[in-house]
Structure 1
Amino acid sequence: MPTLTAPDGTALAHHALGDGAPLVVLPGGPMRASAYLGDLGGLAAHRRLHLLDLRGTGDSAPAADPATYRVDRLVDDVEAFRAHLGLERMDLLGHSAGGSLATLYAARHPERVSRLALITTAVRPLGLCATPEDRLAAARLRTSEPWFDQAYPKYRAWLAGEADYDDDVTPFFYGRWDDTARAHAAAEPEQTPDDPSDRYYEGIDNALDPAALRAALTRLTAPVLLLAGELDGGRTPGLARRTAEAFPHARLTVQPGAGHYPWLDDPEEFTARVLAFLDGTA
């Protein structure tokens, strides 16, 4: 298993899959081990994926200073990863909360990014988050699902702060609640350590100025893709559209029938959309 050393001495693990031009991949969760990304729906057949286990996750070592789990503090790890791979500029993909990290990296190192793909991402450091109303509106698109009647009241109660999270609501995060989705969801607790996950956004609303981040992003000349899932309540297509407005050269694509993990819901459609962007054909 290859490793690199972060600027503060933390040992970071990474994993390479596939062949082709390199694509650096940052996981979401927040702070979920990169294993949950798999081969991104077969994208590894076209690109060599370099997946980073963020500090304290997967095969990477825990941080000596827990404060360094915060998303803006992780930017230095991403820059160390780029240098370790020997890439002058890199195509960068971030999923979900990993898209916030990818955006912060692009703002600080715009000259190092050749293309930026943000997959089902709402960039919280830009002040963009789904409301409970957003999530419930997306959930109501699923009324024909056999699990809806049992799941929806629990989802509504959880969003209102009236109940703890119940596993019955998990299908709302997937476009297809099949055996593949069930196995993917079942692996999540083991892959997401509590302390790093809890600290990822800790204090970020006071630490970062969305206006300053927007200003920094005007220096980014790289093309940016925002891929949203039609059924994703946490990162709705509308929220993705507002996120795209923060980038000078962004385009939005909405994958039909997809939830928060679009490479599971329709691998071929996901791969085609991302490849067309990375190859500059769309």
Structure 2
Amino acid sequence: MPELISYDNGAIWYELRGDGEPLVVLPGGPGMDARYLADLGGLANHRRLVLVDQRAAGRSAAPEDRSTVSFTAQARDVEAVRERLGLERIDVLAHSAGCLIAQEYAAAHPERVRRSVLVAPVGRAGREPDAAELAALRAERADREWYGDAAEADRLITSGGYTGSELRALQRRITPFFWHHWDESRWAEHRPEHATPYPWLRDAFYASSATPDTLVDRLARLSAVRSPVLVVAGASDGMIGTAPARAVAACYEGARLHVLERSGHRPWVEEPARFVELVAGFLVEDAD
């Protein structure tokens, strides 16, 4: 398995899957093992996926300096990946929380990004769900047999006070909200070993989220990006909703937004053919 040493001697692992031009892939979570992305619904048949494990996630090491796990800091690891690949410019695909890293990288290194694909992004400067939209999306499932248990788990998480294994158990119980169609086979998509073992990682990752005082400046940096951007979301995403994706798409001039009607938070699983068609088609436009 390839490994690179980043700017601060941190060990970053990445996996190569498929054939074709490289596509740097950043997982979500934060802190999910990149292997949960598999071949992205068959996208590996069109591009060579460079699946990068974030710091303190998957096969990458946990740094001594936890500030380097923030999404803004991890953009420097993407630059290290680009240098390892020996490419002047790269195409980047990110999922969920990983989109914050991808957006920061494009803003910091605009000359290095050819095209960006942001799948179910959590927001522009941190998590930006719309509470009313999420409540409505979850209420639409009120007639499902699993709804009562998932709703109770959601209430307990919101009430706070749960950590460690108790919190992880509650988070597992709300998993059905994240899908357009839920059945028992979906449990295979949620493997506990894919989650980070470090309870501090989430706070460290979001430590660089914009505050009200810095939001204007961050949005200005993002909106200055001129490389093409594709945003893909799932209409039934009961994890973050579609509001963050719409806000992200509106941030970039000429960005395209596609909301897949029969998908939740992982559209490459629920609508693989449509997902691959959209992404592969976008990436080959004006290829040089």
* TM-score, scaled relative to structure 1: 0.91
Q: Identify the residue that residue 36 of structure 2 maps to in structure 1.
A: 36
Paired residues of 2:129 and 2:243 also in contact (CA < 8 A): no
Q: CA deviation at 1:154?
A: 3.1
Q: Which amino acid aligns with 2:188?
A: A
1:246 aligns with 2:234: no
Identity %: 39
Q: CA deviation at 1:122?
A: 2.5
Q: Which amino acid aligns with 1:120?
A: A
Flag as ranges the 4+ runs of structure 1 deviating above 6 A.
none
1:258 aligns with 2:257: no
Structure 1 window deviating more from structure 2 (21-30 vs 60-69): it is 60-69
Q: Which amino acid aligns with 1:216?
A: R
> Partners of 1:37 and 1:207 in 2: how far apart?
33
1:140 aligns with 2:144: no
Unaligned runs of at least 5 residues, structure 2: none
Q: Deviations over 1:189-213 (max 9, x none)?
A: 5432323233110253349822112
Of residues 215, 221, 225 in structure 1, which corresponds to 2:226? Answer: 221
1:154 aligns with 2:158: no
Q: Identify the residue that residue 112 of structure 2 maps to in structure 1.
A: 112
Q: Identify the residue that residue 196 of structure 2 maps to in structure 1.
A: 192
Q: Identify the residue that residue 9 of structure 1 maps to in structure 2.
A: 9
Aligned length: 279
Q: Identify the residue that residue 60 of structure 1 maps to in structure 2.
A: 60
Q: Deviations over 1:39-79 (max 9, x none)?
A: 11111011110011112211112212112111111111111
Paired residues of 1:134 and 1:234 also in contact (CA < 8 A): no
> Partners of 1:253 and 1:48 in 2: how far apart?
23
Q: 1:67 to 1:83 in 2, by over 3 A?
A: same
Q: Deviations over 1:141-172 (max 9, x none)?
A: 22343322332243244335487535321111
Q: Identify the residue that residue 121 of structure 1 maps to in structure 2.
A: 121
Q: Which amino acid aligns with 2:66?
A: P
Unaligned runs of at least 5 residues, structure 1: none
> Partners of 2:239 and 2:227 in 1: how far apart?
26
SS at match of 1:76: helix
Q: Which amino acid aligns with 1:81?
A: V
> Partners of 2:85 and 2:282 in 1: how far apart?
22
Q: Which amino acid aligns with 1:170?
A: T
> Partners of 1:268 and 1:7 in 2: how far apart?
38
> Partners of 1:122 and 1:87 in 2: how far apart?
28
Q: Identify the residue that residue 18 of structure 2 maps to in structure 1.
A: 18
> Partners of 1:123 and 1:166 in 2: how far apart?
20
Q: CA deviation at 1:4?
A: 0.8
Paired residues of 1:91 and 1:113 also in contact (CA < 8 A): yes
Q: CA deviation at 1:182?
A: 0.2
SS at match of 2:93: strand
> Partners of 1:147 and 1:162 in 2: how far apart?
24
RMSD: 2.2
Q: CA deviation at 1:216?
A: 1.7
Paired residues of 1:226 and 1:250 also in contact (CA < 8 A): yes
* TM-score, scaled relative to structure 2: 0.89
Q: Deviations over 1:189-248 (max 9, x none)?
A: 543232323311025334982211222223322110111101113332233112211111
> Partners of 2:33 and 2:172 in 1: how far apart?
20
Q: 1:203 to 1:278 in 2, by over 3 A?
A: closer
Q: 1:147 to 1:272 in 2, by over 3 A?
A: same
> Partners of 2:187 and 2:60 in 1: how far apart?
26
Q: CA deviation at 1:176?
A: 2.7
